[in-house]
Amino acid sequence: MIDLRDLRENPETYRASQRARGADETLVDRIIEADESRRADLGAFESLRAEQKTVSKSVGKASPEERPAVLAHAKELAEQVKAAESRAKESEASLDELAHQFQNLIVGAPSGGEEDFVVLRHEGPEIRDFAAEGFEPADHLALGEGLDIIDTKRGAKVSGARFYYLKGWGMRLELALMTAALDKAAEHGFTPMITPTLVSPQIMSGTGFLGLHGDEIYYLPTDDLYLTGTSEVALAGYHSDEILELSDGPKRYMGWSTCYRREAGAAGKDTRGVIRVHQFNKAEMFAYVRPEDAEAEHQRLLAMEEEMLHLVNLPYRVIDTAAGDLGSSAARKFDCEAWLPTQERYMEVTSTSNCTTYQARRLSIREKRDGKTSPVATLNGTLATTRWIVALLENNQQADGSVVVPEGLRPYMGGLEVIEPVA
């Protein structure tokens, strides 16, 4: 949720944010109007209630002749107070509904939509020239099937489209990635956690995931619970309704969890293999920091993601995501995209978002400083996920269908250097 006082004082800043996102900037004016109505109705209620208290106190002091009139007035005021309280609650609910529709105020993100990102830099090894090496690269699924480490056919038989089995070295490759991410997080002082993958509507809504992309989320109506698409949700909810102590620095966690996404509206896009699937595993960083430290923390999370990508020796680029492609809660987001040889494009493998105080306001996560409480800032970032296997297989394949294990992962793979095709 945004800062209503700041919106009232700086409405044009919020209109500009909405324009940059391609969102409805008239929402700013509707929120201001709703806030004025709320304050007027609340003022009327409090004025009537004060009058009611005064009249109630006067009943005992009234003479027998005056008492019937005073009692009648007290009764009339009681009805007026009840009606005024109802109007104040309705106004509060209307404002709350509008405020929850507002996406986070962007901080430095480029304007525009999905294609308007800014490339900040290219990193990692040089992109391989497979033609010069004398063979055409196979895609990750063909490689995975040849190595007998990915089985999408039986995944579809058992669960439907976009499900899969990782087997043998495929399973161990994913565990290697996740364990390397765990070690990286621990090295940087993050507390590792296995998180719940089912959360309440209050927590899901509080993180901002039930807005524009609510159709991406699996919902269990019988239990009134949502399956999480990232452990960010459970980690954000971990300190909901709490006052944190951040005087010694940020609170940092890494969540290891299975994630679920409906991938609604993604028909025909990356449906082959394990690029865009309904179930996957992910190691997610999450940090609670003071608002003035959020931008520095954002760079810290990005640097950790890049350390992981250097560990597995992938060619990648870093992009500054455009405002219109940000999630509702993100004020700014950096993605790392690994090179995908068979599609001759870059594919997102990590994201890190600065959510400023947006989620903390919705989840009532505060810090007490100088005798006052105020919202903290929250940030998140990916350290590893199942999708990395796609880039690892394609970029490290050999002409005979084998795949070289990146040197940084070999200690997590029992020293294995090459995954060989199954005869």
CB hemisphere CA count around 95 (13 angstroms): 22
Q: Which residue from 289, 222, 221 is spatially nearest to 253, judged by alpha carbons?
A: 289
Looking at the predicted structure, is the pLDDT value of residue 265 above 80? no
User: Which is the catalytic residue, given 348, 364, 374, 420?
Assistant: 348
Q: Does 348 qualify as catalytic in the annotation?
A: yes
Checking if the pLDDT of 129 tops 90, the result is yes
Which tokens belong to 114? 């999905």
Binding site for L-serine: residue ranges? 230-232, 261, 284, 380, 382
- What the chain holds in terms of domains, given with CATH numbers, is 4-101 (1.10.287.40), 118-419 (3.30.930.10)
Residue 146, pLDDT score:
97
pLDDT in tens, 354-370: 999 999 999 999 999 98
pLDDT tens figures, 195-221: 999 999 999 999 998 876 778 899 999
Element (H, E) at 384: strand 377-385
The confidence band for 1, taking pLDDT boundaries of 50, 70 and 90, is confident
Catalytic option among 91, 328, 351, 353? 351
pLDDT at site 212: 66
Which pLDDT score, from 0 to 100, does residue 269 have? 67
Give residue 168's pLDDT: 97
Catalytic residue among 21, 172, 261, 300: 261
Mean pLDDT, to the nearest integer, of 55-84?
Answer: 84
Task: Tell me phi and psi for residue 373, to 5 degrees.
Answer: -100, 145
Which tokens sit at 1? 């949720």
Q: How many helices and strands, by DSSP H and E, does the chain display?
A: 13, 18
Higher-confidence residue: 68 or 268? 68
Mean pLDDT of 292-320: 98
The string of pLDDT tens digits covering residues 11-39 is 999 999 999 999 999 999 999 999 999 99
Binding residues for ATP: 261-263, 277-280, 348-351
Does the reported pTM lie above 0.85? yes
Catalytic, out of 276, 290, 317, 410: 276
338, HSE (Cβ side, Cα atoms, 13 Å): 26
Judge whether 276 counts as a catalytic residue.
Answer: yes
What is the rounded average pLDDT of the residues 77-86? 91
pLDDT above 80: residue 267? no
- Phi and psi at residue 422, in whole multiples of 5°? -85, 130
| Residue 97 annotated in active site | no
Active-site residue flag, 49: no
Concerning whether 33 is annotated as a catalytic residue, the answer is no
**Mean of pLDDT values over 288-300:** 98
- On average, the pLDDT of the chain sits at 94
Give the separation between CA 380 and CA 213, rounded to whole angstroms: 18
Mean pLDDT of 329-338: 97
DSSP H helices in 162-293: 169-187, 201-206, 232-237
